[in-house]
Structures are given as C-alpha cells and as structure tokens.
Structure 1
Amino acid sequence: MCSLTKSFKYIIPMLIALLQVSCKESPFKTHLIQTWVFVVATIIYGLAFQLSNVVVVVISGSLSTVSLISIFLPRLLGFLIFIPWSFVPIIVAYQPICSIFKDIHDACLRLDRQMIMDFISKFSVVWTWLTRSSSSEQVQEHKQPRPRVSP
C-alpha cells in the first residue's frame, strides 16, 4: 500500500479526537449528512484496506477525511468543499462499476446459453427415447403377421 493510504489511518482518528474535544453538540444533530457519509466511507475504507484495494482505500479514505474536515468549517464553506468531493468517488468509480456490470451481464448471458443448451440436450435425449420407443413399436407391429381378411 502506498503512503497516502496509510496516512488515513492516522488522520482520521486524529480528526475524530479533535471533533470530540471541539464540538459541544453531536455532529449527528448539526451535520447529519457529513457524519453519515463519514461513517459509511470509513467502513468502506476499513474493508478495502483489509482487502488491499488501493483505489477504493484512497477514494473512501479521502472522502472520509473531507467529510470530517467539512464539519469543522463554517456551514457554507463546509458544503462548498464537501459536495464536490462527494461526487469524486462516483466519477472515479464509474468505469470500474460499468466494467463489473458488463462482466455480470456477460456471465448471465453465458449462464442462459448454458441452461438453454442443457435443456436442449435433455430434450433431445427424451425426444430420442420417445422416437425410439414409438419406432420400436412400429417395428414390432410390422413383424407380426397381419390377419388375412377373406372376402
């Protein structure tokens, strides 16, 4: 992992400690959106850090940090920084997300094709069995002598 991703391990706890010391009211009351974005981004950061996904760690760690910093700033300035930065993960993750959905779509198409081929093969086995049994009955009918009808 790069040093930027590791730096969030120190910046985020430091900002939380500073928030506890400086805030008289709960940030959930005063800055609800930023606080929830921080919570979600920090959870994603922790999971991505464990999975060693550097891109997700950088995006979620920086979003987590920016959402905490926006709590310390005056409301208007905080939103001016927070709102554009909250779109950065969506913009950065757009191409990988599209790629993942394309892979899932292709897998579903392959699965559908495989299921159709399995159904056709099973149907062909049943069809072969049915046609053999009816043809064998016809063969047996042909082997039996026909009764003669007298005029």
Structure 2
Amino acid sequence: MIFLFLIPVMIGLLQVEYQNKNVSPFDIHPINMWVFLAATCIYCVGLATNLESYNYPTACSKIISHLIINSGALASITLASVLVSSLIGWLILCLWIILPITLARNLLKHIYEWLKHRTYNIISTGHVRFNKLWECLTLKKQHLPITTIYTV
C-alpha cells in the first residue's frame, strides 16, 4: 500500500522539477518513463485483480501479490531514477534487480504449488470420469444376451 502514496508524491516532485523547463521527462529519460508507465499499468491491473479476488482467495492471489510488489517497486524506482542524477539513478535501478530475485524463489514455490494443485484436480477429475465410463461399458457387456449359433 505504500506505493499508492509514494508514486503520487514522486509524480508531484517530478512536476515541480520540470515545471519551468521546455523539455519533459520523456525527452530526457524516455526508457525510464516508459518503464514507469508499463510498471504502473501492471501495478494497477494487479491491484484490481487482487481486490476482485479478495472475497474468493485463490492460489493465484500469492502470485498476484508478488506481481504487485515487483511492479510497484519498479514504478517507484524508475521515478526515483529520473529525479536523481543519471549515474545514481541507474545504480538504484540495477540494485532494484535484487528484489525480484529474492522474491522469485518464493514466487516459484507458489507457482509450483498452484500448478501441482491444478494438475492434481485435472487428473482426479479425468480419473473419476474414466471410471464412470468404464463402469458403464462393463455393465452393458454383462447384460447382453448370449446367443448361440447352431450349425448343421
């Protein structure tokens, strides 16, 4: 939730810094600004999805929460890298890579558990349906009349 407050404050600081200049941050730092926009969009979609699934928690909610943390941190870091000098900004951006790497282990565990659960459900549903079909086929064979053919 801190990103909900941090990002607007940093946008305000960015507006103050560039208010009397004839260039925009998109002219000076195009990569950072486009990464910020993409990360903010992912963050907003993740928050909306997380709010939708709040009443019905699923195994995907942990994955979505990791996505929200990573994209919110990336959005904040890219804005911070625009506000500070170029060298420090790129250093901060490079240090941000540590966050997803540390969270990736836990995220991969959740993805594995989710996939394992989904695979087990699919296999068990298929097994139950196959058993019902097999029972139908074996019952039909038992009730067939036996006919004998006489040859003369």
Task: Mark yes or no: TM-score above 0.5.
Answer: yes
| Normalised TM-score (structure 2) | 0.65
* Conserved? CA contact 2:18–2:25, under 8 Å: no
* Residue pairs, 1:113-132, within 5 angstroms: 113-132=124-143
Unmatched runs of 5 consecutive residues or more in structure 1 = none
Q: Which residue of 2 aligns with 1:109?
A: 120
Residue in 2 that maps onto 1:14: 12
Greater CA deviation, 65-74 or 49-58?
49-58
Compute the TM-score of the two structures, normalised by the length of structure 1.
0.66
Report 1:56-67 matches (<5 A).
59-67=70-78
Counterpart-to-counterpart distance in 2, 1:95 and 1:127 = 48
CA 1:69–1:18 in structure 2 vs 1: closer, same or farther (change >3 Å)?
Answer: farther
What is the root-mean-square deviation of aligned Cα atoms in Å? 3.4
Superposed, which structure 2 residues align to 1:23-102 within 5 Å? 24-50=22-48, 51=50, 59-92=70-103, 94-102=105-113
- SS of the aligned residue for 1:137 comes to coil
Contact 2:70 2:100 in 1 (8 A): yes
Which runs of no fewer than 5 residues in structure 2 stay unpaired? Answer: 52-63
- CA positional deviation for 1:55: 6.6
**Greater fraction helix:** 1
* Amino acid in structure 1 at the alignment position of 2:120: L
Of structures 1 and 2, the larger Rg is shown by: 1
Structure 2 vs 1, CA of residues 5 and 54 (structure 1 numbering), >3 Å: closer, same or farther?
farther
Distance 1:95 1:17 in 2: 37
The Cα shift of 1:67 comes to 0.5
How many percent of aligned residue pairs carry the same amino acid?
A: 22
Q: Deviations over 1:30-89 (max 9, x none)?
A: 434322321122123333444458776554333212201212333222111111114414
User: Aligned partners of 2:101, 2:112: CA distance in 1, in Å?
Assistant: 15
